[in-house]
């Protein structure tokens, strides 16, 4: 009898063993926006936020993501995410790579792992938080100006105990606006010119991050600190023909940031601030110079359960400031941002969300073509999101 049972168990094991391609997960989301309701200033724009702001902006697909992921073995995980909502010049809806990486686990629990490929740079909670989960429609200028599209080619080491990794997963799964699992400790090197762009010098950027979620009672907080250093080269296509600069167009690029998160159970706080140094346009001298930068944001939110299954409301408000350059934009465009945003995200169910936010914005952004450009205005922004 024992022999028969043993033989059956082995047979069942063989028949239930899946090949790696049978374990691939496919998911994604699509965001459609309109930004011009009750608009008071058509010249108020934000290139890195959403190019459909302002003059000639209309209905637009902000993101169209497909995510392929799975485990090839117990210690090898892969993740590929293209986006068909990208744009270049006047051409929209271009299919472009966002993420393509694999994780190598060093131990059975994968508490120590190495990530290789194009992925998010571990700098800033909101930068790593998926746009699928974030409440404000765009990331705040201050930290997002560090890494356009949040990604680059690199090698990153992450460590987190298995218990903490499970908590990171639950913060996303339980609709608490988590950032995902980027470890308690992260350290890595990356090219520094951002995703889908070639390296332009022989110097890699170095980044490190320490962040730890702490449970007390029903609440969860997560303080963190992160920093990076490197050299950034302003590419030819982002330089005006007459702008002045050092001959190589290569600038020091370094920052440090602090983070504090109180997850919405039901009241939430998300706040970050960074200081640093990098390239910035000087309109008085018509030149790109090495300058200091500073800025941050604070987002307050509240989680409300609706009457239907999986129905939730997240009212929120965010205040943000930024004084510095945006190295990824024309002539390392200089910015002074003061902005207040208030809105609500309505999750009708797990498949459909609708967000409306009213924005009070004061943005001074100047480059070689716009040496005097100080814009103030208000607008109502609408986004519909489908998750699948």
| C-alpha atoms less than 13 angstroms from C-alpha of 252 in its C-beta half-sphere | 8
**Residue 5: which residues within 8 A CB-CB, separation 6 or more?**
none
Task: Reply yes or no on whether the pLDDT at 335 is more than 60.
Answer: yes
DSSP state of 244: B
Identify whether the C-beta of residue 328 lies closer than 8 Å to the C-beta of residue 148: yes
Tell me how far the alpha carbon of residue 61 is from its chain's centroid: 17
Q: What is the mean pLDDT of residues 171-182?
A: 97
Q: Is the sign of the CA dihedral 235, 241, 245, 246 positive or negative?
A: positive
pTM for this predicted structure:
0.92
DSSP state of 17: P
Average pLDDT over the chain reads 93
What pLDDT score was predicted for residue 85? 85
Identify whether the C-beta of residue 125 lies closer than 8 Å to the C-beta of residue 179: yes
What pLDDT score was predicted for residue 16? 59
- The Cα 186–Cα 156 span in angstroms is 7
Domains of the chain and CATH, by start: 20-387 (2.40.160.10)
Q: What is the mean pLDDT of residues 4-21?
A: 49
For the segment 193-240, what is each residue's pLDDT rounded down to a tens digit? Answer: 999 999 999 999 999 999 999 999 999 999 999 999 999 999 999 999
Q: In the structure, what pLDDT confidence band is assigned to residue 8 with cuts at 50, 70 and 90?
A: very low
- The Cα 28–Cα 275 span in angstroms is 34
**Residue 298: which residues within 8 A CB-CB, separation 6 or more?**
269, 270, 271, 318, 319, 320
What pLDDT score was predicted for residue 285? 97
Containing 16, the helix (H) or strand (E) segment is helix 2-16
Q: Which of 188, 180, 200 is nearest to 229 (CA)?
A: 188
Phi, psi dihedral angles at 20 (to 5 degrees) = -60, -35
Q: Integer distance in angstroms from the first to the last C-alpha of the chain?
A: 48
- The Cα 158–Cα 226 span in angstroms is 13
Task: Reply yes or no on whether the pLDDT at 17 is more than 90.
Answer: no
What pLDDT score was predicted for residue 3? 38
Task: Reply yes or no on whether the pLDDT at 145 is more than 90.
Answer: yes
What pLDDT score was predicted for residue 196? 93
Distances (CA, A) of 291 to 102, 272, 323, 353: 36, 21, 10, 41
Neighbours of 225 (CB within 10 A): 12
For the segment 78-125, what is each residue's pLDDT rounded down to a tens digit? Answer: 999 999 988 777 778 888 999 999 999 999 999 999 999 999 999 999
Q: What is the mean pLDDT of residues 173-195?
A: 97
Identify whether the C-beta of residue 130 lies closer than 8 Å to the C-beta of residue 139: no
For the segment 293-317, what is each residue's pLDDT rounded down to a tens digit? Answer: 999 999 999 999 999 999 999 999 9
**Residue 249: which residues within 8 A CB-CB, separation 6 or more?**
233, 234, 239, 288
Q: What is the mean pLDDT of residues 29-39?
A: 97
For the segment 278-291, what is each residue's pLDDT rounded down to a tens digit? Answer: 999 999 999 999 99
Identify whether the C-beta of residue 178 lies closer than 8 Å to the C-beta of residue 133: yes
More confident residue, 144 or 91: 144
Task: Reply yes or no on whether the pLDDT at 334 is more than 50.
Answer: yes
């Amino acid at each position: 009898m024992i022999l028969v049972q043993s033989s059956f168990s082995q047979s069942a094991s063989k028949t239930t063993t899946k090949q790696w391609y049978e374990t691939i997960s496919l998911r994604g989301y699509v965001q459609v926006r309109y930004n011009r309701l009750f608009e008071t200033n058509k010249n108020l724009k934000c290139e890195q936020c959403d190019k459909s702001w302002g003059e000639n902006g209309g209905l637009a697909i902000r993101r169209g993501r497909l995510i392929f992921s799975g485990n090839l073995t117990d210690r090898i995980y892969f993740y590929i995410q293209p986006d068909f909502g990208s744009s270049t010049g006047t051409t929209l809806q271009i299919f472009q790579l966002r993420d393509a990486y694999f994780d190598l686990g060093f131990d059975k629990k994968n508490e120590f792992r190495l990530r290789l490929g194009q992925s998010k740079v571990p700098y800033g909670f909101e930068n790593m938080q998926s746009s699928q989960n974030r409440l404000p429609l765009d990331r705040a200028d201050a930290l997002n100006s560090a890494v356009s599209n949040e990604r680059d080619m690199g090698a990153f080491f992450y460590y987190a105990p298995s218990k903490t990794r499970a908590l990171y997963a639950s913060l996303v799964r339980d609709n608490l606006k988590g950032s995902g699992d980027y470890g308690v400790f992260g350290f890595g090197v990356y090219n520094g010119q951002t995703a889908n762009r070639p390296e332009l010098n022989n110097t890699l950027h170095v980044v490190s991050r320490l962040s730890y979620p702490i449970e007390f009672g029903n609440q969860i907080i997560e303080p963190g600190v992160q920093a990076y250093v490197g050299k950034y080269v302003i590419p030819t296509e982002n330089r005006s023909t007459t702008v002045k600069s050092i001959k190589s167009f290569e600038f020091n690029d370094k920052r440090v940031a602090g983070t504090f998160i109180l997850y919405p159970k039901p009241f939430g706080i998300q706040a970050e601030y960074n200081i640093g140094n990098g390239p910035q346009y000087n309109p008085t001298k018509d030149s790109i110079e090495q300058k200091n930068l500073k800025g941050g944001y604070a987002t307050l939110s509240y989680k409300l359960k609706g009457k239907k299954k999986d129905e939730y409301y997240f009212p929120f408000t965010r205040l943000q400031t930024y004084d510095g350059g945006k190295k990824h934009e024309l002539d390392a465009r200089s910015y002074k941002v003061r902005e207040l945003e208030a809105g609500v995200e309505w999750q009708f169910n797990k498949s459909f969300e609708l967000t409306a936010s009213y924005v009070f914005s004061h943005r001074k952004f100047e480059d070689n073509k716009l040496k005097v450009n100080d814009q103030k205005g208000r607008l109502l922004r609408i986004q519909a999101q489908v998750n699948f």
